[in-house]
């Protein structure tokens, strides 16, 4: 066959040019179709509506909080007392902020490792006939109302914590954090354990779905190189799901920070900061608002709303910090890819 008769790429007819924006508009393809325009408008409007609602909540809380703080003596952030019925009124958030943060941290320390372990077991160790029922039970735990958790904590959990508190006092009481002088175990540790049980299904479900999305090829490559099951999880699954676990933890932390009824059922509120997690007393923002709002005066409600504003700011800061951590990890992973 003569080489000169063969067709080359240069002899091939040129490809038609790709349609530009005008062609898309004329043919009805791309983002300019009516359905796409409607969906774009709805999604954009939903995002704007969410921002408007958040701004309205922040404006309302700020306005009512300013009314209360303007009549305060300037010790709103440091006062260890709450009595809005005297003149001048006294109200402070120091104890509430301490109790909210400490109980939430205890809940995260207890719940997150257990939730991640359960999620790994369900996705990489348990057989299908076992992982299905366990996942179903975890989903049911997420649907249990807060008041049920509170009643269970008050009637079942609290009476059975004496042994744990005695053990912690005997072996770790020298630290001061776990010293116990006896009495009913209604303390920050009790609240933290109860909150950990409440947020466990949330962290477990999200982490489980993230671990299921781990690249199967990476796991098979690690197994082919002779890695054990744990080494596969440590090198391929956990690095992939780290940002998802952080997001799941922040969801659980959000519920722990704002939990109301369960905490109010278990904890006996007192306005003093305890050095030990086992000493009875303490309080949280949500618990204080729920217990005092119905009988509060107009000024007392403004003071409660001021404490709600502080909780609102704490929640925003926590979520913002979580987003920054996730964004930095994505940038770090992309740079090392």
pLDDT bucket at 27, cuts 50 / 70 / 90? very low
Predicted confidence (pLDDT) per residue in 267-286, tens digit: 877 777 777 888 887 788 88
Q: Considering all CA atoms of the chain, what is the largest pairwise distance in Å, rounded to the nearest integer?
A: 109
176 neighbors 275 (Cβ within 8 angstroms) = yes
pTM of the model: 0.80
H helices of the chain, where? 21-27, 34-69, 94-124, 128-142, 146-152, 162-172, 188-212, 216-224, 229-232, 238-258, 261-266, 285-292, 298-336
pLDDT band at 337 (very low <50, low <70, confident <90, very high): low
Give the pLDDT of residue 92: 80
Give me the chain's average pLDDT, please.
82
pLDDT at 330: 62
Mean pLDDT, rounded, for 281-297: 82
Decide: residue 141, CB within 10 A, 0-12 exposed, 13-18 middle, 19+ buried.
middle
pLDDT in tens, 40-99: 999 999 999 999 999 999 999 999 888 888 776 667 777 777 777 677 777 888 888 888
pLDDT, residue 73, reads: 64
pLDDT at res. 1? 45
Residues 6+ apart with CB under 8 A from 213: 240, 241
pLDDT-based confidence at residue 26 (cuts at 50, 70, 90): very low
List own/partner pairs for 74-79 with CB under 8 A and 24 or more apart.
76/306
Confidence band for 334, pLDDT divided at 50, 70 and 90: low
């Amino acid at each position: 066959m003569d080489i000169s008769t063969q067709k080359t790429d240069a002899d091939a007819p040129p490809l038609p040019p790709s349609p530009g924006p005008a062609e898309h508009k004329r043919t009805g393809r791309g983002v300019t179709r009516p359905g796409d325009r409607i969906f774009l408008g709805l999604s954009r409007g939903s995002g704007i509506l969410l921002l408007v609602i958040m701004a309205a909540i922040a404006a309302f809380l700020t306005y009512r909080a300013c009314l209360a703080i303007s009549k305060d003596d300037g010790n709103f952030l440091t006062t260890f007392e709450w009595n809005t019925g005297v003149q001048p009124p006294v109200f402070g958030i120091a104890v509430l902020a301490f109790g909210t943060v400490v109980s939430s941290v205890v809940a995260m320390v207890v719940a997150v490792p257990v939730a991640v372990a359960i999620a790994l077991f369900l996705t990489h160790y348990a057989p299908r006939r076992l992982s299905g029922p366990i996942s179903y039970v975890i989903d049911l735990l997420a649907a249990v109302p807060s008041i049920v958790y509170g009643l269970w904590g008050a009637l079942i959990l609290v009476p059975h914590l004496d042994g744990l508190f005695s053990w912690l006092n005997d072996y770790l009481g020298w630290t001061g954090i776990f010293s116990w002088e006896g009495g009913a175990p209604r303390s920050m540790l009790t609240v933290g354990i109860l909150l950990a049980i409440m947020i466990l299904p949330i962290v477990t479900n999200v982490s489980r779905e993230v671990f299921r999305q781990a690249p199967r090829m990476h796991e098979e490559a690690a197994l082919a190189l002779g890695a054990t099951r744990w080494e596969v999880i440590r090198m391929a699954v956990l690095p992939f799901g780290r940002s998802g676990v952080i997001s799941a933890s922040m969801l659980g932390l959000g519920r722990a920070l704002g939990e109301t009824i369960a905490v109010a059922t278990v904890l006996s509120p007192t306005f003093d900061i305890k050095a030990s997690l086992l000493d009875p007393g303490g309080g949280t923002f949500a618990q204080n608002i729920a217990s005092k709002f119905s009988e509060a005066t107009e000024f007392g409600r403004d003071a409660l709303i001021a404490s709600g504003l502080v909780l609102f700011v704490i929640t925003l800061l926590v979520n913002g910090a979580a987003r920054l951590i996730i964004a930095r990890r994505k940038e770090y992973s992309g740079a090392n890819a």
